[in-house]
Structure 1
Amino acid sequence: MTSTSLSHCRNCGQRLNPWDKFCSQCGQDTLDHPPSLWEFVHEWLLHYVAAEGKLWKSLWALLAKPGFLTQEYLQGRKQRYVLPLRLLLTFGLLFFLSLKLLPSPVEVEAPAQPTPEVAAAAASQAEARLAESSLPAPAASAIAAGVRQSMRAGMQGQGWQQAPVVMDAEDREKLPSALRVPLERLEKRFAENRDAAWLQLKSTMLSLAPYAVLISLPFFAGLLKLLYPGTVYGAHFLMAMHLHAAWYLMLLLVVLLQGFSGLLFALWAWSNVYPLLALKRVNGSGWPSTLARGAVLAVLHWILIGVVFIGLAAAGVAAV
């Protein structure tokens, strides 16, 4: 960014020196023209990453030193590192973006539904094996009849690609309409086009997941407050942001390092040890107390994750 000939700040009116790049009163830059693309690149990438080095220091501290960034922030050393909210949003954005652009290691493909022709061939093979088996004739005949019945259903197009039965019809009738109607609509959509309905469900859940994590942060901080009541809530919220930013970073590495099973196992193990080390560093408690509180936190956190997942699933069902 170059020097300016402005004599006063356009934001607050503070008098400027010819060499000032920022106003000493309000902090606004003194650029007197719309920034070019290169100026954006220089300020937000080259200068920020290479010259100041905040990002690299923050990234290493976040990943390798549990609780260190929280401790530094609480002790007043804030400008040396990237602010916690920015870390959280950055790695959260990169993680969810990677899920959309790269194949996920946790993606499980639904088994392909057999066609009626394949079912008929399998039924014929099953009947042949039954005829050769040592089963009593009545038992073999009953099983063969069941196989033929299934084959006819498949040949008639019945039983294949049917909608999933989310709940028994009698139990579903007992639900209020606000819950019954979405379930019926979900089954109908799956019956019409299973792949499209499943894609819509996953897309909705994935698109809402970042917001769900942000909404859950105050509750996670509340769990920390419950375990460490002597610490102010703001410090717990700060730690919650750093913990979730670290988990986002580890999940991002999991997606990027597919195929490296040893590294993935190390990341999994580190993600479980990480919160314990962070709790001990920030709160200064001994290991027995840290392990006990960490175990309670893990159970409560998984309950919170379950509630969030149920909410996402409900939103996904409503969108289908």
Structure 2
Amino acid sequence: MKEITESGGLLCANCATPMHGEFCHECGQSIHSVLKPVHGMLEDTLDIVLHVDGRAMHTIPPLLTKPGFLTLEYFSGRRVRYVAPFRLMFVLCLLAFFLGHIALDQATNKISHAEATHGPSAPINAFADAGTTLEVKKKLDQQVAQLRLTREAVGSSTGLDLAEAALRKQAAQRTAELDGSAPAKASSSESDDGLVQLDEGDKKGWLFKPTHVDIAWLPGFMNARLEKGLQHMKLNLLAMKAKGEARDDAMERLKAGTFAVLPQTMFVLMPIFALLLKIMYIFRRRLYMEHLIVALHSHAFLFLNLIVGIVLSMLAAWLVPHAGNWLGSVFRLLEWALAIWALVYLLLMQKRVYRQGWFLTSVKYFVVGWCYLWMLFFALLFAVILGMAH
């Protein structure tokens, strides 16, 4: 693209104002024509990409390591070389939830693979073919040993304690049947296809009641939407009581629905967090927009911190099985360091931006943090409920 060296005598094509540079000082339109060869468009695209990358290189490192630096730069008017606060938070938010979804799928697949290999869940009629109490005890010891192997392979006891409790209950019931102290009955409430078989007492619960929503002050389409979501929630809850593909599909719907609404939930919390800062620092005579910039940069840092933590966790899952437990200790230390740095970072940021003493800053930091944790808890609970209705 050719450089503009002289614009005297030229008029803006949009508002006919005399031009004194490449852009009109009245309407902001560029002097360059949008009708250009394809190679010119490629040059412009490359320039935009490199410019954004350059701003990202100036933004990401201080965002992670310098509390309050970007906010103070923004307040001072030095904004061109940095990514805008909302765009920065938005991109990091989407990336954090995207990686979080992948990491959750990875952990779920690991547990499912270990269960498929070692059989951690209580099998149907696990002790039905046992003819003596000694045989029941032998089978129980074998099943518990498999559970222990699964714990070592997965590195977590998620769901395995419940499976062991179910096995011991089945063993005790079969032992009582062999001793003649209890009537024989099925040791599992599940059918051969893995679906939960509910008795008549269970079918009297709210899951089996007719679903009808009719709120007078809501429009019809909203009532229909709520009714459909409630029906989906009931079906998902019933599917989660099953085993096999039905339960896996329900969990996938729950995860997909929850992660789909989490970004919107965080965007709702953003102005509320800024309002908390406004209330805490009402005598500092700062505009609400200034508190909103602080909130945007704070959340951008938290999402960046979360991204680094997720990447470390995924690297640990990939490298530790090949390198040994010492590397796992290193990754755990780094993850703890990130969590502690997040708390320290936000305190230092609040101190540097609002310039108050340590005592007042600490008190306001804990008050805002306590209130925001409760709001975050209810927001996450709301997201899970919406995910259940997916």
Q: Give me the TM-score of the superposition, normalised by structure 2.
A: 0.64
The alignment status of 1:186 with 2:236, answered yes or no, reads: yes
Specify which of 315, 332, 350 is matched with residue 279 of structure 1: 350
- Give the CA deviation at 1:78: 2.6
Q: Contact (CA 8 Å) 1:250, 1:271: kept in 2 or not?
A: yes
1:162 matched to 2:230? The reply is no
* Amino acid in structure 2 at the alignment position of 1:250: N
| Greater mean deviation of Cα atoms: 208-217 or 36-45 | 36-45
- The range that moved more, 188-197 or 61-70, is 188-197
Displacement after TM superposition at 1:62 (Å): 1.2
Higher normalized contact order (CA 8 Å, seq sep 6+, divided by chain length): 1
SS at match of 2:103: coil
CA distance in 1, matches of 2:259, 2:249: 15
Post-superposition CA distance 1:98-129 (Å, at most 9, x none): 345x4349945676596999444456399426
SS in 2 for 1:237: helix
The correspondence for 1:39, drawn from 37, 43, 55, is 43
- Conserved in 2, the CA contact under 8 Å of 1:21 and 1:31? no
Partner residue in 2 for 1:141: 176
Task: Write the letter of the residue equivalent to 1:128.
Answer: L
The C-alpha deviation readout for 1:177-211, integer Å capped at 9, x for no partner, is 54894443333454592222221221111122111
Q: Unmatched 5+ residue regions in structure 1?
A: 133-137
Deviation at 1:13, TM superposition (A): 3.9
What secondary structure does 1:205 align onto?
A: helix
Question: Offset at 1:306?
Answer: 1.4
Pairwise CA distance, 1:302: 1.1
- Of the candidates 284, 289, 310, which is equivalent to residue 234 of structure 1? 289
Determine if contact 1:105/1:255 at 8 Å carries over to the other structure: no
Partner of 1:220: 273
CA contact (8 A) 1:116 1:157 kept: no
Aligned length: 306
Residue in 2 that maps onto 1:97: 98
Picking from 113, 134, 151, the partner of 1:128 is 134
d(CA) in 1 for partners of 2:91, 2:137 = 65
Change in CA separation of 1:171 and 1:295 when aligned onto 2, cut-off 3 Å: farther
Residues 227 and 293 of structure 1 are in contact (CA less than 8 Å); yes or no, is this contact kept in structure 2? yes
In 2, Cα distance between equivalents of 1:172 and 1:277:
49
| Partner of residue 263 from structure 2, selected from 191, 210, 213 | 210
Alignment partners' CA distance in 1, 2:203 and 2:359: 48
SS in 1 for 2:185: helix
Sort the Cα spacing of 1:280 and 1:120 in 2 relative to 1 into closer, same or farther, 3 A: same
TM-superposed deviation, 1:242? 0.5
Q: 2:336 pairs with 265, 268, 271, which one?
A: 265
Give, in angstroms, the shift of residue 9 of structure 1. 3.9
Kindly tell me: are residues 97 and 293 of structure 1, through their superposed partners in 2, closer, same or farther at Cα, counting changes over 3 Å?
A: same
CA distance in 1, matches of 2:44, 2:60: 22
Aligned equivalents of 1:186 and 1:243: distance in 2? 36
Return the alpha-carbon distance in structure 1 between the equivalents of residues 175 and 76 of structure 2.
78
Which deviations, in whole Å up to 9, do the C-alpha atoms of 1:233-275 show, x marking residues without a partner? 2211110000011111111112222313333222111112111
Q: Is contact 1:276–1:294 with CA below 8 Å preserved after alignment?
A: yes
Deviation of the 1:74 alpha carbon: 2.1
Matching residue within 290, 294, 311 for 2:365: 294
Which residue does the alignment assign to 1:135?
none
Mapped contact 1:127–1:147 kept (Cα < 8 A): no
Q: Secondary structure at the match of 1:257?
A: helix
Give secondary structure in 2 for the equivalent of 1:285.
coil
Q: Distance in 2 between matches of 1:217 and 1:312?
A: 16
Change in Cα spacing, 1:273 to 1:204, as seen in structure 2 (3 Å) is same
CA 1:262 to 1:115, structure 2 compared with 1: closer, same or farther past 3 Å? closer
Moved more, 53-62 or 7-16: 7-16
- Tell whether the 8 Å contact from 2:99 to 2:310 is kept in structure 1 after alignment: yes
Say what the alpha-carbon RMSD is for the aligned residues: 4.1
Go from structure 1 to structure 2 and tell me whether the alpha carbon gap of 1:298 and 1:172 turns closer, same or farther (over 3 Å shift).
Answer: farther
- For the structure 1 residues 255 and 47, does the alpha-carbon distance in structure 2 shift closer, same or farther, using more than 3 Å as the test? same
Equivalent-residue separation in structure 2 for 1:224 and 1:86 (angstroms)? 21
Question: Where do 5+ consecutive residues of structure 2 fail to align?
Answer: 139-172, 214-225, 317-330
